[in-house]
Structure 1
Amino acid sequence: MSAPPLSEIFRSFLRIGLLSFGGPAAQISMMHAELVERRGWLEERQFLGALSFCMLLPGPEAMQLATYAGWRLRGVPGGLIAGLLFVVPGALVILALGLGYALYGGVPLVQALFVGIKAAVVAIVLQALLNLARKALTDRASWVLAGLAFVAMFVLSVPFPIIIAAAALWGYLSARGEAETAIPMPAVPLRGTLMTVVIWGTLWAAPVLVAWSAGATFLTDLALFFSKLAVVTFGGAYAVLAYMTETVVVTKGWLSTAQMIDALGLAETTPGPLILVTEFVGLLAGYAQGGVGMAVLAALLTLWVTFTPCFLWIFTGAPYIERILARPRLKGALAGISAAVVGVILNLSVWFALHVLFGRVRETAFGPVPDWGTFSPLSLGFVLLAAALLLGARLSMVRVLGLLAVLAGAWHLLI
């Protein structure tokens, strides 16, 4: 079929961007229904191949899949339209929610609402852990890898990038017995590929260099950290949250633990990729540094260095997708990463649960240890209710977050 006009691509991806609640699984299903079943713009084989390719990349796979679909239909303009529309609606919502939280988050009733939201977040992360474990832990070796990843991060505090690199290497080497499919290199001039890398690499680095040359130490530090995060974000937002939390809470001191959990809870209520939580983190860090103006600037800078690399990966690699997917070693590396990510998300689940259920948690040489005298039965009740609603009644994340917030607020008003 002929390529659709850009106006049609705009309308379709605007609809996807406005309705993309529920995490990557729901977002990918929505794109499949729109692009393959309803519009017929992509074949099933093309869609699944593109999804596999995006899962090999760092960053939000659903947003990158949207970008690839737009590129496949109308080149770079189509990719820009699709990718931006997948992110911008949620980014605007996060900006509004973040500013509201920064200005009014200290109000007692608002704090009470977040008691329920925090409890729901624990259940949501647990749900993500169970879903990923069912897919990634297919044999004894993958279970062992997940366990080692958990111990390395929770007990030994091994940095997330090292865990991911080790898991990828293990997966790459373990696939050595498989034969690669011989597929000819596509007719894409090397000069064009290098030009794409230079253009998007420059766009990625430009605001970082501007902040550095202006002597803006905080903004430079923020941009460099989230740029590094964009390179190691394999396995989705949940996988990288533990690494991000350790850095922004413990190392940098930009946010408190409670704010970090609140950030994830609010990000779950918005359309778009969950990695938009980085925008919320950047906004709160900026607000603490210099008020509303710095908050907006930090949020925009964080957005830029989080999502510009996605366009770099897609526009550089998309012409070579068939050749890349023919390499089983790369698939093995992805399988290794997926198994390790289960252990990383387990670490995140335990970490969040400890900080929600206990008023004080201290860091030791062997991981976080709670002060048992600060245990909160109310928080445990909310966590169990959220888990029952998510895993038992199978309500949507947005509904569970809203219901738990209302219940926590009502409890506060009644007592």
Structure 2
Amino acid sequence: MTRPLEPSAPLHDISLAEATAVWTRIAAQSFGGPAGQIAVMHRILVDEKRWISEERFLHALNYCMLLPGPEAQQLAIYTGWLMHGTRGGLIAGSLFVLPGFLAILLLSVVYARYQETMVVQALFFGLKAAVLMIVLEAVQRIGRRTLKHPLLWGMAGGAFAALFFFGVPFPLVILAAGLIGYVGSQVRPGLFAGSGGHGPSAPGDAAAPALITAETAPHVTPSWERALRVLGTGLAVWFAPLLLLGAQLGFSSVYWQQAKFFSQMAVVTFGGAYAVLAYIAQQAVETFGWLQPGEMLNGLGMAETTPGPLIQVVQYVGFLGAYRAPEGLSPLAAGLLASVIATWATYVPCFLWIFLGAPYIERLRGNQALSGALTAITAAVVGVILNLSLWFALHTLFGHLQERQFGLVQLDLPVWRTLSLPTLVLSVVAGLALFRFKIGTLPTLALSTALGMGYVFLSRSL
């Protein structure tokens, strides 16, 4: 007997059209990184609509935290699938990405075509300073939640040292952390107990009725037959268009390079966008030449100020890489195609992870080995983000860096005479706004951008 790919008939009367309208509303409000995005979903789905119980919501979030990729978008896919099957998951996950895709596409076009103009230079001058502090704030926030034992502090420090001093590839750092956590959870389980995720800080009203609970949620009985069908379909949808593109435009083209690179990133992006940005920036700048060093901060500034996952910055990276080497297409057409490639390779795997793994969520929840691996990876991510913040700081505050080799250690040391004092001052102001006055990410970005634009216009007029 063939087992269904879809959940059993919904035990609710929520129409797909009504759910689509709510997912559109959630997507339009999905600012503030994963914490803010998950909080928006929790407020609307759990507290306001009471479509899903608190227990079921957190159950799904725990599973999404185990996966590579943006956990907020995966939570949207899972919840949509739970309510309306594959169609619901596709709609929820796609709508979650669409506003950010359109916004960053527009900003990428503006940046690529008008970056030499004073207005655009002034806009991104202030953004860079704020983004530096936002990344540092992410280090503090994740570290405070995660590093609850000296061993985890040591793992964070080891991850930073491996990346900054020895240039160990990011995927190897994540793999090593996961293996340590997996083994360590068997030897000393107390040291690798789950440390929580990005979930909402305040629980919903547990006594309020919800349409979907742990008891009433529809489900699919897991089986090898179903898993193989979902895996085969998902891999075909993921890679078939990319392979066709490579066959048409050449497997040495920038488009195929981006298809491979961003597909690889989709598999190793544990810990969210901040954790992998340093690796993406390093490869985009030093290996492929798609960006200049300081330009990654511009892209992160775009992602911070638009709705959707922060990992959407990969679209900006792909756009500029193809825009500058269009290989037979017009620059704008090349940038648009690369934007679609980067977005496709980043998010299609998220649908596969959810549709494949959701039926096993009860078995995964509370699994000691998986929880230990996730805890160790999250601790390593603190070191990874610290490396990212230092990399960004060096390339933003200094006009030139000098590469020096000390045995096995290779460092990019700043040339102090190239220090940008205005950028340093703006960074200090942004840091005070975030850490001292706690005014929030978007107001800090707005303040820093306004001050930066004012400085640029004033200095050019004198």
TM bucket (normalised to shorter chain) is over 0.9
Equivalences for 1:154-165 in 2 at 5 Å?
A: 154-165=164-175
- Who is 1:211 aligned against? 245
C-alpha contact 1:351 1:368 (8 A) present in aligned 2: no
Q: Secondary structure at the match of 1:175?
A: helix
Aligned with residue 179 of structure 2, among 169, 181, 189: 169
CA apart distance, 1:260: 1.1
**Does residue 431 of structure 2 align to residue 391 of structure 1?**
no
Partners of 1:227 and 1:30 lie apart in 2 by 28
Write the distance in 2 (CA, Å) between the matches of 1:237 and 1:104.
Answer: 27
Aligned to 1:182: none
Match of 1:92 among 74, 90, 102: 102
The alpha carbon displacement at 1:207 in A equals 2.0
- Distance in 2, matches of 1:189 and 1:153, equals 40
TM-score, normalised relative to structure 1: 0.96
Aligned: 1:241 with 2:281: no
Deviation at 1:156, TM superposition (A): 0.2
- Do the aligned residues in 1 keep the contact of 2:254 with 2:321 (CA within 8 Å)? no
Q: CA deviation at 1:3?
A: 4.7
Provide the C-alpha distance between the structure 1 equivalents of 2:18 and 2:269, rounded to a whole number of angstroms. 31
For residue 328 of structure 1, the aligned residue among 359, 368, 373 is 368
Poorly superposed stretches of 4+, deviation over 6 Å: none
Deviation, structure 1 residue 186:
7.2
Matched, 1:412 2:456: yes
Aligned residue among 323, 333, 340 for 1:300 = 340
CA contact (8 A) 2:147 2:153 kept: yes
Question: What residue in structure 1 maps to residue 227 of structure 2?
Answer: 193
Match of 2:212 in 1: none
Picking from 133, 149, 156, the partner of 1:146 is 156
Following superposition of structure 1 onto structure 2, how do residues 352-363 of structure 1 map, counting pairs within 5 Å?
Answer: 352-363=392-403
Specify which structure has the higher proportion of helix. 1
Identity %: 46
What letter is aligned with 2:159?
A
Which secondary structure does the structure 2 equivalent of 1:158 belong to? coil
Question: CA offsets, 1:21-58, max 9 Å, x none?
Answer: 11100111111111111111111111111111101000
Find 1:342's aligned residue among 382, 400, 404.
Answer: 382
Counterpart position of 1:41 = 51
The answer as to whether partners of 1:186 and 1:320 remain within 8 angstroms in 2 is: no
Q: Which moved more, 1:133-142 or 1:190-199?
A: 190-199
Equivalent position amino acid for 1:276 in 2:
Q
Indicate if the aligned counterparts of 2:294 and 2:392 stay in contact, CA closer than 8 A.
Answer: no
Residue from 40, 43, 53 that aligns with 1:30: 40
The Cα offsets for residues 109-166 of structure 1, whole Å up to 9 and x where unpaired, read as 3212212111001000011111000111010100000000000000000000000000
**SS of corresponding position for 1:123:** helix
CA RMSD in angstroms comes to 1.6
Distance 1:308 1:199 in 2: 11
Matched, 1:376 2:412: no
**Shift in Å, 1:108:** 2.6
SS of match in other structure, 1:235: coil
CA distance in 2, matches of 1:244, 1:402: 26
Does structure 2 retain, via aligned residues, the 8 Å contact 1:112–1:408?
yes
Alpha-carbon distance in 1 for matches of 2:37, 2:447? 23
Counterpart in the other structure of 2:207: none
Asked if 1:124 is matched to 2:168, the reply is: no
Distance in 2, Cα, partners of 1:192 & 1:25: 33
**Residues 70 and 273 in structure 2, CA contact (< 8 A), matched pair in contact too:** yes
Aligned match of 2:211: none
Q: Which runs of 5+ in 2 are unaligned?
A: 1-10, 191-218
Structure 1 residue 6 corresponds to structure 2 residue 16: yes
Instruction: Give 3-state SS (helix, strand or coil) of 2:222's partner.
Output: coil
Distance 2:81 2:246 in 1: 33
Amino acid at match of 1:69: T
Superposition TM-score, scaled by structure 2 size: 0.87
Structure 1 unaligned runs (5+)? 180-184
State the partner residue of 1:275: 311
Alignment correspondent of 1:224: 260
The number of residue pairs the alignment matches comes to 411
* Counterpart secondary structure, 1:176: helix
**In 2, Cα distance between the equivalents of 1:19 and 1:396?**
16
Q: Take 1:48 and 1:154, find their aligned partners in 2: how far apart are those partners?
A: 35
On the 8 A contact 1:64/1:310 being kept in 2, the answer is: yes
Task: Write the distance in 1 (CA, Å) between the matches of 2:402 and 2:380.
Answer: 26
Shift of 1:395: 2.1
